[in-house]
Every structure is written in C-alpha cells, then in structure tokens.
Amino acid sequence: MLLKSLYLENIRSYTSQKIEFPSGIVLLSGDIGSGKSTILLAIEFALFGILPGELSGGTLLRNGEDKGTVEIIFELNNQKIKIQRTLKKTKTSVTQGNGHIIKQGIKKDMTPVELKTAVFDLLGYPKEMLTKSKNIYRFTVYTPQEDMKRILMEKKEDRLDVLRKLFDIDKYKRIQDNTSLYVRQIKENQKEKAGITSDLEEKKKNRDARQKEFILAEKKLHELKPKVDAAKIKVQHKQKIITEIEKRQKTLTELKQKIAVIESEITSKKEQHKTNLSQAKELEKETTKLREELSGTEIKKSFIEEIDSLNKKIQKISKETQAILEKKTIRETDKKRSEELKKKIAELNNCPTCLQIVDKNHKEQIAFKEDEKIQELILHIDKHLKEISEKETIKKELENKIEELRKKEKQTAELRIKQNTLENKEKQIDNITQTQEKLLKTIDAAETEKEKIQTETKKYKDLEKELQEHKKELNFLQETEKKEEIEFNRAAEKKENIKSIIQELDMEINKKEKIHSELMKLNDIKNWLSDYFIKLTETIEKQVMLRVYHEFNELFQTWFDALIADETISCRLDDTFTPVIIQNGYDVDVVNLSGGEKTACALAYRLALNKVINDLITGINTKELLILDEPTDGFSSEQLDQMRDVLEQLNMKQIIIVSHETKVETFADQIIKVQKNEHISEIQQ
C-alpha cells in the first residue's frame, strides 16, 4: 500500500486542502501546532473511521462547522483505490455519515462499519482484528507521538496482553481459560452425578432381594391356581343344574300366569255380561220414553238461512245508519264553527290583518250570514236524526223477527236430537244382544282351557323345594370359590407389586448406570484436559512466544544499538517483552534514561514490533508503508544521523515522517511544508 493523495474539508485546522504523497522518505515539516499530526489522523480516519477511545469525531471536525469530509487515494497491487468518509454534527455529538469506495472505476456506497470491513479486506488484516481494542494499523504503520513510549511504560501484564492480541497468540490463553472454566463445570457436573449414583449398589442389592420375592410369589400362584379352577368347575356345574330347574320353574310360572290370565278374563267377561244386561234394560226404558215424546210431532226444516238473510239486512241498515251519523257529525261541526265565528266577530274591534276598526254593520252582515247558515245546518241535522230513528226502528223489527226464528230453530233442533238419540239407543240394544251371545261362548272356551292347564301343572310338584336345596349348595360352593379367588388375587397383586417395584428399580438402576458411565467419561475428559490439553496449549503458546521473542529481541537490540551508538549502553528484552537497559554493567530502568535515549528505545521497540507483526501475520498489504510521528523527539545531532541510516536499512517504499527537526530535511526525498495562518493550515507550495 502506497499513499497517493489526501483531501481534507473542514478537518481541524484545514478548511479545504489536498496533499499529494510521493514515494520514498516524505517529511511533513512545519512548526509545532501547524497541522502536521492532523494529516496523519485524517489518513487513519479515512481508512478506519472513528475509533472509540482513540479517535473521535469531535476532535476531527473543525470548530463551528456542521460537516466535514476526508478523501484518500492509495495504490494497492498496482491499482488505485479511493475512499471517502464524512462527519456530521448533531445536537449532542459528531457522528460518521455514510461514505463510499471507488475501485476499478466502480463506486460503492457503504455505511461506516461496511467501509471499515472493506478496508480490512483490502489491507489483508485478519478479520478477528475488527473487534480488537487496539487497531493493528497503530503498530504496523502509524503510532501517534503520545503513544510511542506508552507501551514501554505499561505494566508487564498489560503489555503482554496487548502483544498476545497483536501476535494473535491470545487465543491460546483464551483456550486455557475456557478449558479451565469447562473443567470446573465438569467437576460441578461430576459432583451432581456422583450424588445421583451414590446409592447405585444399594439399589442393585434391593433389586436382587425383590427378584427373590417375585420368584416365591410366582410359585405360590402356581400352587393356588388348581384350587381356584376346581372351585370354579363345581360352581359352574351346580349353576347348570339350577339353570335347568329354573327353566322348568319358569314354565310352571308361565302356566300359572296363563291360568291367572284366563281366570281374570272369565271374571271380566262375566262382569261385562252382567253390565250389558243392566245397560240393555236401561236403554229399553229410555227408548220407550223417547218414542212417547216424539209421538204426534213433526220435525220441520232449519231456519238458519232465513236468520242469515235477516242478519245481512241488519248489517246493511247499520252501515247506512253509520253514514248518516257521519254526515250529522260534519254538519254539527260546521254549526259549531259558525257559532264560534259569530261570537269572535261580535267581540272583534280591529281587523287582525289590516288593523282597521271593524264597524257594526259589517259585524251584523257576517252575523246574519252565519245565522242563515246555522239554520240551514239545523234543518239538515234534524233530517238526519229522523232518518237515524227510522233506521233504528226497522233494525229493531228485524232483530225481533230473528229472535222468534231462533226460538223455533232451537225447538226443531231439540226434536232432531231426540230422534237421533232414539236411533242410537236402538242400535246400542242390538249391539249388546250380539255381544252377550259372544261373551257366553268366550266364557265356556276359557273354562275349558283353564281345566287343561291346571292338569298340566301337576307335573311340576315339589320343584320349589328341589331348587332351594341346590341354591343352598351353590352358596356354599361360591363362598369356597370366593375365598380361593381372594387368596389367589392377593398373591397375584403381590406379584404385580413386586414386578412394578423391580421395573422401577431397573429403570432407576439403568438411569444411574448411564449417569455413572457419563461420570467415568467426564472423569476421563477432565483428566485429559487438566493433565494434557491445558499443558499442551501452554507449551504451544510458549513455543510461539519464544519464536516471536527471539526475532523481536534481535531486532530491538539491532535498532537500539544503531540509534544509541554508545558502547556503555546495551539492551535486551526479558521474557515479558519488557526492555532491560544495561549501562556500565548495571540494569537501568527506562524511566531513568535521558529524553533522547527514551525516544531511541521507544523507536527501536516500535520498529521491531512493526517488523515482527508484518512477518508473523502473512497477507498484510501495508508492509511498504511506515508513518512516524515526531520519532526524533530529544535526539542529538548524532542520533539524527543514525536515524537516517536506520531508515535506509528499513528499505521501505514509502516512509512519512512528521518532524520539526530541520536536519531531517537532509535525508528526506520529498518535503511537504505545513503552515498555519489565522487558524487555517495550508500546504506551502
């Protein structure tokens, strides 16, 4: 990866600026605070966006502006790639907006997270580094000035954790920690399973004892079965005998029931014969009386039609009367209206419409006119009253005539009923005579049938006594059978209970044996993880760290010696990758070194870390780019010369150095001068 250009708009002290980056050693020169470090931060933002805890939007967006833009163009595998990121100000903070990437002439809009993922893919950074708190870019390409010495001053445990993550060796520690946690879980699981299986042997002994009880119960059932079967056979035989007797008894009962039915029928027929005789005599008396009453009388035709005809005339008269009443009511209403008008006019002084005074002549004219109208209405009303009276008279005469006809109709109907009654009673007398003859024949036949059945019942003498004796014997046999069955059922129930207990014990034993087997497997897994796997990962981690350590230590010593060039001072790394400084044969803490010596130590550590990471993580596409932010802080003139030799030994295609040291200009291939005028940074052409 080689940087080609960077465009800044409203980024810190830059309003609008494009910076071109050539190959070789490029120096960003300018006074302190001129805006050199802003360029480096803008490059990092363009590639990775806002970095929580490291690079915020608020530190990048120019004060007073609502939005800002950074565009970067870099070359990767002979291909130019352009990335744009944006910032926007909200009410509470500065956030990233969507951006885009242009590759092979194709523009693709992306969210900030999508852009970061795409950049990681382009630069060949491991994807697991996406979630690391420390961006690998800060250890291989660019480390801010304030972070150069921080890693040297951190606690050795923190430094080791950072290096493990950078070298992707922390996975071994995670494996160990997770394995230890898993082993603890296995132990807890073992305790639980051991508690469940603690009574396994006791359950097995109990099961064996129950099995012996089951065998004894089966043996007793085999002994009781023949006794139960024999008792059942005796009961069945006795029940068969009783069934045969009961069949004969049923026949006897049926014969007796037939006799009872016949006797009942004979009695009923005799009673009916007696009743019929009495009824016939009574009917003879009634018919004689009816003949006497009907003698000499004539039954006339019905008066109903004549009555209906008169009713229709009455209805017609009623309708006519109603019509006259309605006319009378209308004329009475008109008469009342005229009287009211006459009264109102008499009392009226002014016309309600025109408000003029109504004179006496006008009132008299209206009164006279209404009097004439009232007299005419009275004549009509009197006429209507006379008509109504005439109609009522006619109606009354018709109603009287109907009443007379109804009386005659009633008398005729009574005679007609008596005639019908007489005829019915004569028929009843004939029917009774015929019935009596049939009853006598039926009674004789029933008496004959009764004598025949009574003769047949004599065959079943002493049947009841025989049945009672057999039932008594059956009760005894059933009691014996019941006792045998109770004893057999108790034995069978006991056997089933024991069988159920054995099945439950078998299920419980099988479950516990399975858990015991799982317990043994867990024990093997725990022992293997504790005794072999954890130790193996520790060994692998040590071997990997040892290989990293040797390369890191060798590079660190080489760069430190090149930058210090003082035979009285040497250095090395201990097993925690902590620099150990030896001066005149004594160990010296880094804190006690001079400013230039601290810077040299930090730079040597930084360059060694860069080389080890690039060698260890294959596929990284930023190996040809290095950015150094004030790497010569506190360097002497001799150290600056040695710095040039170190940079030449690095043999990298593009090195960007931020420095205000003028001597650095002597070994820079290109110089980009930055100046600030009235709070605005610009590139000096």
Res 435 pLDDT > 60: yes
pLDDT tens digits for range 501-513: 989 989 988 998 8
Residue extents of the structural domains in the chain? 2-154+616-684, 297-459
> Which ranges of 529-636 would DSSP assign to H, the alpha helix?
534-564, 595-616
pLDDT tens digits for range 317-356: 899 889 989 988 998 898 898 888 888 887 777 766 666 6
Percent of the chain clearing pLDDT 90 (strictly above): 20
Q: What is the mean pLDDT of residues 287-297?
A: 76
Res 4 pLDDT > 90: yes
Say if residue 125 is exposed, middle or buried (CB neighbours under 10 Å; 0-12, 13-18, 19+): buried
pLDDT, residue 398, reads: 86
| Structural contact between residues 76 and 621, judged by C-beta atoms closer than 8 angstroms | yes
Mean pLDDT for the chain overall: 85
DSSP calls for 296-353: T---PPP-HHHHHHHHHHHHHHHHHHHHHHHHHHHHHHHHHHHHHHHHHHHH--B-TT
Res 258 pLDDT > 80: yes
User: CA of 461: how far to CAs of 10, 94, 244, 249, 469, in Å?
Assistant: 135, 124, 15, 10, 15
- Lowest mean pLDDT of 42-56, 279-293, 491-505, 597-611, name the range: 279-293
Q: Which residues pair with 94 in a beta bridge?
A: 89
- Residue 146 banded pLDDT, cuts 50, 70, 90: low
- Residue 28 banded pLDDT, cuts 50, 70, 90: very high
Strand ranges across the sheet with 579-583: 569-573, 579-583, 586-588
Q: What does DSSP assign to residue 358?
A: P
407 closest CA partner among 300, 317, 289: 300
- Residue 431 banded pLDDT, cuts 50, 70, 90: confident
Q: What is the mean pLDDT of residues 528-541?
A: 84
CA atoms within 13 A on the CB side of 480: 16
CA atoms within 13 A on the CB side of 41: 21
- Residue 128 banded pLDDT, cuts 50, 70, 90: low
- Lowest mean pLDDT of 145-159, 282-296, 469-483, 648-662, name the range: 145-159
Q: What is the mean pLDDT of residues 91-119?
A: 93
Give, rounded to a whole angstrom, the gap between the first and last alpha carbons of the chain.
25
User: b/e map of 98-118 (b: 16 or more CB within 10 Å)?
Assistant: ebebeeeeeeeebebeebbeb
Place of tokens 């004598």: 451
Place of tokens 């944006």: 86
Res 301 pLDDT > 80: no
Say if residue 162 is exposed, middle or buried (CB neighbours under 10 Å; 0-12, 13-18, 19+): buried
For residue 64, how many other CB atoms are within 10 A of its CB? 7
Q: Which residues pair with 628 in a beta bridge?
A: 143, 657
pLDDT, residue 111, reads: 94
CA 115/CA 157 separation, integer angstroms: 33
pLDDT, residue 130, reads: 60
Res 133 pLDDT > 60: no
pLDDT tens digits for range 374-416: 888 889 889 989 988 988 898 898 888 888 888 877 777 777 7
Contacts of 318 (CB under 8 A, 6+ apart): 395
CATH of domain 2-154+616-684: 3.40.50.300
- Residue 300 banded pLDDT, cuts 50, 70, 90: low
683 closest CA partner among 3, 36, 42: 36
| Structural contact between residues 565 and 646, judged by C-beta atoms closer than 8 angstroms | no
Res 47 pLDDT > 60: yes
Axis-axis angle for helices 36-48, 112-123 (nearest 10): 100
pLDDT, residue 351, reads: 67
Q: Which residues pair with 86 in a beta bridge?
A: 69
Indicate whether this model's pTM tops 0.75. Answer: no
CATH of domain 297-459: 1.10.287.510
Res 46 pLDDT > 80: yes
- Residue 1 banded pLDDT, cuts 50, 70, 90: very high
Res 448 pLDDT > 90: no
Contacts of 457 (CB under 8 A, 6+ apart): 252, 255, 256, 259
